[in-house]
A and B are shown apart, each in its own frame.
Chain A
Amino acid sequence: MHSRAQKRLAAAAAVCALLALPHALTFSQKEIAVFLVINVLVVVSYRFLTLVGEWSLGHVVMTGAGAYASALLSKRLGVPVPLAMPLAACAAAAIAYLLSFPLLRMKGFYFLIGSFAAGEIMRLLWKRFHNPFGGPKGIKNIPEFPGIDIGFVSVDFFEPENYYYLCLAIVAASLWIMRRLEHSPLGLTFHAVHWRDLTAQSVGVNVRRCRTVAFVAASFFAGLSGALLAHYVGAISPNRFGIDEMVFVLAWVVAGGTATIYGPIAGVVALTAINEVVLRELGFEQARPLFYGAALIASVLFLPRGLETFAPRITALFRR
């Protein structure tokens, strides 16, 4: 995969495969594909925060913030869903900005625990207050994404296939934005902040601002993924955004690796595929935590930089 033409060819093939995918799947597999696309946004946004070297345990709660914001905006205030989604992402970003003042004073393990505490507090507030968050049962009957109906074309987004395409478009656009951000001068400074924060500071980089930008942007896209989820499943509850879910996100990211944008995607696709195809088909649904636990341990012990380290090896094989 060296020349530009080859790269373009590969990209075109990937796009065709993604567009054709739902036609090869059964109904329930299509639903899984929708969740998978949404989870790709979750893990890639998670990786965006790891660019500055911080690992959060509150990221799933941020997707929850987006989901709750979008659900409340559209259900209680009657905001049209296509507008509620970006607003919800902005709400998640705003919450992250406020949280950045206490949380980004911390680093490493302290940030990890601090982000867990902040996220858990937010989640418990949803659980405790029935008005407006609906308490432990959450919010039901969330309006769906409105269908498009202009005479000869009518698209109903309640169909998993159509919602898959909608998610694919939004997620692709988000990934493109995050990629551009990462390769911008600001994104390049993120690496300096990650590996040599004191040196970066000494040459005039505003380390705190970089960390804030990464945290807020990651939460923005997490919120967007939550909004996508909320209007598809139609009902959300605090337990959906608990630490259990966070552990799965962590497993996807760790298994995939964080050096490139492809790592987390590879992680979420591979683990979801194994989980859904192997475990569900064989009827080992309750072994899901067992499988994810083994995947986490195996990746840190034997594959410390994630599945993505396979990519160069495989391309090297083809080059020979």
Chain B
Amino acid sequence: MTELLLQTAVNAVYAASYTALVAVGLVLIFGVMGIVNFAHGELYMLGAYCVVAVYAKGEMPFVFAAVAGVAAVALVGAGMERGLFRPLRGNPLGGLVASIGFLLILQAAVSIVFGVRPQHIPPLTKTVIPLGEVTVPLQRLIVIVAAAVLLSALWWFLRRTRTGWALRACAQDPEAAALQGISLNKAARLAMAAGAGLAGAAGVLAAPLIPPAPLMGHPVIVAAFVVIIVGGVGNLEGAAIAAVLYAFVHTFTTTFADGVIADITVLTLMLAVLIMRPTGIFGSQERA
């Protein structure tokens, strides 16, 4: 029994790591631009398909695929900012609707190019590391470590660099930030590229373990919404903590009940937070 509990906990940490990457990116975009990017799950999906194209089909090293995936998705994100969100600034509903439209386009484009079937990706390594009573596949450990590194890098960037400060200034008060000579367009582009890049990184990391399929972004975006609501909309640290909370609740309920019950549980949790504490468990009014 303890073995099962420990094994489930390890699986939860793994799920938490890529959920956190997606959710933190979503929070960053919302914080700086005030737009809810519904296509975020599809950016994650796009990252996974970069691995399909470069690593599985192109037979190049995984590291190339990872770099290409993150860069390509970040570029798509910057393009979305320029083409969709910039013309719709000051119209949050419009931005949201446009991102829903973009989501449909990405899904359709990927199913036309790659087909709707889940893609097989050869495992990176089959090494399994025994950790006391439980075993951790090295592959999952890589995902956990990479996510932790990326999130720490983002935290350092936002708290310790001038550009990071500028981004946070835009999140707190766009007008005041503009008066200080910070370009809102540049900040938005950077936030969008970074947020999309994080989603792409999550997709790249998840690809060897979750067979990429055109609709794979759907459960992830639902998870990300639960996480940002529970963690407090616009709160980066809250999102990271909530991602861990979400992953533990979801993984344990899936293991001990079933997947549908787990979905119902986390959605109920989110609804409860929305009703009782609309700013989230860790929330304050401040953004990013």
| Contact among A105, A118, A121, A301 for B88, CB-based, below 8 A | A301
Contact size range, A: 35 or more
A21 within 8 A of B: no
Interface residues of B in 213-229 (CB under 8 A from A): 218, 222, 225, 229
Q: Quick one: given A106-B274, A124-B260, A304-B94, are A295 and B101 in contact (CB under 8 Å)?
A: yes
Nearest CB in chain A: distance from B265 CB, A: 10
A247 within 8 A of B: yes
B interface residues, how many (CB within 8 angstroms): 39
B36 within 8 A of A: yes
A286 touches B111 (CB 8 A): yes
Task: Specify which chain B residues have a CB less than 8 angstroms from the CB of A128 in the assembled complex.
Answer: 258, 260-261, 264
Q: Quick one: given A120-B267, A287-B112, are A297 and B102 in contact (CB under 8 Å)?
A: yes
Chosen A-B contacts, 6 in total, with CB atoms closer than 8 Å, are: A106-B278, A114-B275, A117-B270, A120-B267, A124-B260, A286-B108
Q: CB within 8 Å of B: which residues of A?
A: 55, 102, 105-106, 108-110, 112-114, 116-118, 120-121, 124-125, 127-128, 243, 247, 250-251, 254, 286-290, 292-297, 299-301, 304
B97 touches A286 (CB 8 A): no
B97 touches A113 (CB 8 A): no
B264 touches A121 (CB 8 A): yes
**Alpha-carbon separation in the docked complex, A294 to B182 (Å):** 33
B135 within 8 A of A: no
From DSSP, what is the main secondary structure of chain B's interface residues?
Answer: helix
**Alpha-carbon separation in the docked complex, A125 to B261 (Å):** 8
Q: Quick one: given A109-B36, A247-B104, A290-B104, are A55 and B93 in contact (CB under 8 Å)?
A: yes
Interface residues of B in 74-114 (CB under 8 A from A): 84, 87-88, 91-94, 96-98, 100-105, 107-109, 111-112
B271 within 8 A of A: yes
B274 nearest CB neighbor, chain A only? A114
B101 touches A118 (CB 8 A): no
A105 touches B275 (CB 8 A): yes
Task: Specify which chain B residues have a CB less than 8 angstroms from the CB of A304 in the assembled complex.
Answer: 91, 94
- In the complex, number of A-B residue pairs with CB atoms less than 8 Å apart: 105
A300 touches B263 (CB 8 A): no
**Alpha-carbon separation in the docked complex, A304 to B87 (Å):** 11
Task: Specify which chain A residues have a CB less than 8 angstroms from the CB of B112 in the assembled complex.
Answer: 286-287, 290
**Alpha-carbon separation in the docked complex, A72 to B261 (Å):** 23
B268 within 8 A of A: yes
| Contact among B96, B103, B263, B274 for A124, CB-based, below 8 A | B263
**Alpha-carbon separation in the docked complex, A316 to B37 (Å):** 39
A297 touches B274 (CB 8 A): no
| Contact among B100, B107, B229 for A113, CB-based, below 8 A | B229
Nearest CB in chain B: distance from A82 CB, A: 34
Task: Specify which chain A residues have a CB less than 8 angstroms from the CB of B111 in the assembled complex.
Answer: 286
A247 touches B100 (CB 8 A): yes
Q: Quick one: given A125-B264, A286-B111, are A102 and B271 in contact (CB under 8 Å)?
A: yes
15 more contacts with CB within 8 A, not counting A109-B96, A287-B112, are A102-B275, A105-B275, A109-B92, A113-B229, A114-B271, A124-B263, A128-B260, A128-B261, A243-B218, A251-B101, A286-B108, A288-B108, A294-B105, A297-B84, A297-B101
Interface string of B109-122 (1 = CB under 8 A from A): 10110000000000
| Contact among A55, A105, A109, A289 for B105, CB-based, below 8 A | A289
A293 touches B271 (CB 8 A): no
Which of A251, A254, A296, A304: most chain B CB closer than 10 A? A296
Task: Specify which chain B residues have a CB less than 8 angstroms from the CB of A299 in the assembled complex.
Answer: 97
**Alpha-carbon separation in the docked complex, A295 to B225 (Å):** 25
A296 touches B271 (CB 8 A): no
Task: Specify which chain B residues have a CB less than 8 angstroms from the CB of A114 in the assembled complex.
Answer: 271, 274-275
B107 touches A289 (CB 8 A): yes
A117 touches B98 (CB 8 A): no
Task: Specify which chain B residues have a CB less than 8 angstroms from the CB of A116 in the assembled complex.
Answer: 225
**Alpha-carbon separation in the docked complex, A114 to B229 (Å):** 10
Closest CB pairs A-B (n = 4): A296-B101, A293-B104, A290-B108, A293-B105
Interface residues of B in 236-277 (CB under 8 A from A): 258, 260-261, 263-264, 267-268, 270-271, 274-275
**Alpha-carbon separation in the docked complex, A102 to B263 (Å):** 19
Nearest CB in chain A: distance from B226 CB, A: 8
Task: Specify which chain A residues have a CB less than 8 angstroms from the CB of B102 in the assembled complex.
Answer: 293, 297
B257 nearest CB neighbor, chain A only? A128
**Alpha-carbon separation in the docked complex, A102 to B270 (Å):** 12
Task: Specify which chain B residues have a CB less than 8 angstroms from the CB of A288 in the assembled complex.
Answer: 108
Q: Quick one: given A290-B105, A290-B109, are A110 and B274 in contact (CB under 8 Å)?
A: yes
A288 nearest CB neighbor, chain B only? B108
Task: Specify which chain A residues have a CB less than 8 angstroms from the CB of B258 in the assembled complex.
Answer: 128
**Alpha-carbon separation in the docked complex, A58 to B159 (Å):** 39
**Alpha-carbon separation in the docked complex, A299 to B100 (Å):** 12
Q: Quick one: given A110-B278, A114-B271, A117-B267, are A296 and B97 in contact (CB under 8 Å)?
A: yes
**Alpha-carbon separation in the docked complex, A192 to B84 (Å):** 31
B98 touches A300 (CB 8 A): yes
Nearest CB in chain B: distance from A305 CB, A: 11
Nearest CB in chain A: distance from B33 CB, A: 13
